[in-house]
């Protein structure tokens, strides 16, 4: 149970970090504009959460079960129970290739689910050479291999140390004395993410229905942008065509107007209280 909670925590970290990476990648590399990636509204991408957990788990399984005669990169010592420190070696190719292939398979399966199940593309590599169904392509497969290299040498040792510290913080040094406040906060974040998922699925289903009706397989972001433009135009027309409500004077303003109003007809017949020289006429008592 404790290991499962730790995996959930790492999954959440991967979701958030992946969202940040995608936002800046699309702003400065691909789309050249600020885009909220994925089909959820909040700052999380589950695909990256699964990717982080997958690569971390593959490293743990391989380094813990492969023959001890193989020397793997272990700069800090104590990595997955291996105390001896060691620099890069040829054996590192095994976990790197495994993680890279694992990420390519994960990307393909995720993309295939959305294309076959919802008729929507979350990403599109159709214009890339050697692509398969627009889901994976050689260029991004190489990128995933580079990601595996970066993860293995620059992230994995520190992520393992971070996970050990996180585990100790959540459950105590010996797995006793759980930090319920921290676990509660993680639970709140998962609640927000699940709520976001449920709401986003509704929008996603609508966009998927549009794609099915038109028979056109479109990118999710293009559908979402087109739907947003349609809603904005409908709102603009509604405001423009909405009849303007005439302002009604308040009761207080009406009373004041009645108090200071002078009837011109009565003013004509009002006796003059001044003589020809402009002096007031003395009235008889």
Q: Report pLDDT for 73.
A: 95
Tell me the pTM. 0.72
Mark residue 166 as left, alpha or beta (left: phi above 0; alpha: psi -120 to 50; beta: remaining).
alpha
Average pLDDT, the chain: 81
Q: Report pLDDT for 259.
A: 57
d(CA 50, CA 278): 99
User: Among 66, 57, 63, 65, which residue's Cα sits nearest to residue 103?
Assistant: 57
Q: Report pLDDT for 124.
A: 86
d(CA 51, CA 150): 13
- Residues 136-170 have pLDDT tens digits of 999 999 999 999 999 999 999 999 999 988 888 88
Q: Report pLDDT for 211.
A: 61
Mean pLDDT of 27-34: 84
pLDDT-based confidence at residue 200 (cuts at 50, 70, 90): confident
d(CA 260, CA 242): 37
Q: Report pLDDT for 232.
A: 62
Q: What percent of the chain has pLDDT over 90?
A: 42
At 79 the three-state DSSP class reads strand
Residue 258: its H or E element: helix 251-260
52 pLDDT above the threshold of 90: yes
- Residues 201-231 have pLDDT tens digits of 777 677 667 666 665 555 666 656 665 565 5
Token pair, residue 38, equals: 């994925």
Q: What torsion, rounded to 10 degrees, do the Cα atoms 216, 111, 14, 204 define?
A: 30
249 pLDDT above the threshold of 80: no
Q: Report pLDDT for 18.
A: 92
Mean pLDDT of 240-246: 63
273 pLDDT above the threshold of 70: no
284 pLDDT above the threshold of 80: no
d(CA 16, CA 27): 17
pLDDT-based confidence at residue 260 (cuts at 50, 70, 90): low
Beta strand ranges found along 47-157 (DSSP E) = 120-121
Asked if 139 and 167 touch (Cβ cutoff 8 Å), the reply is no
Handedness of CA 203, 209, 211, 217 (dihedral sign): positive
d(CA 195, CA 38): 15
d(CA 122, CA 172): 41
**Helical pair 2-28 and 180-214, crossing angle rounded to 10 deg:** 50
pLDDT-based confidence at residue 244 (cuts at 50, 70, 90): low
- Residues 70-124 have pLDDT tens digits of 999 999 888 998 888 999 999 999 999 999 999 999 999 999 988 887 777 878 8
């Amino acid at each position: 149970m404790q290991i499962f909670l730790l995996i959930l925590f790492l999954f959440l970290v991967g979701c958030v970090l992946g969202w940040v990476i995608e936002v800046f990648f699309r702003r400065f590399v691909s789309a050249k504009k600020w885009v909220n990636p994925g089909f959820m509204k909040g700052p999380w991408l589950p695909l990256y959460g699964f990717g982080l957990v997958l690569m971390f788990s593959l490293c743990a399984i391989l380094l813990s079960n492969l023959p001890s005669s193989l020397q793997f990169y272990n700069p800090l010592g104590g990595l997955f129970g291996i105390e001896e420190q060691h620099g890069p070696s040829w054996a590192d190719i095994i976990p790197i290739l495994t993680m890279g292939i694992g990420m390519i398979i994960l990307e393909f399966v995720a993309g295939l689910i959305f294309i076959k199940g919802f008729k929507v593309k979350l990403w599109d590599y159709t214009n890339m050479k050697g692509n398969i169904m627009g889901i994976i392509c050689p260029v991004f497969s190489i990128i995933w291999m580079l990601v595996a290299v970066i993860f293995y040498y620059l992230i994995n040792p520190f992520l393992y140390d971070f996970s050990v510290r996180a585990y100790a913080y959540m459950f105590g040094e010996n797995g006793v004395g759980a930090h319920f406040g921290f676990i509660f906060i993680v639970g709140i974040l998962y609640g927000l993410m699940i709520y976001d998922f449920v709401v986003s699925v509704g929008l996603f289903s609508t966009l998927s229905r549009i794609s099915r009706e038109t028979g056109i397989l479109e990118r999710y972001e293009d559908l979402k942008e087109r739907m947003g433009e349609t809603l904005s135009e409908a709102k603009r027309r509604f405001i423009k065509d909405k009849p303007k409500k005439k302002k009604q004077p308040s009761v207080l303003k009406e009373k004041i107007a009645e108090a200071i109003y002078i009837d011109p007809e009565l003013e004509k017949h009002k006796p003059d209280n001044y003589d020809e020289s402009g002096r007031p006429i003395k009235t008889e008592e």
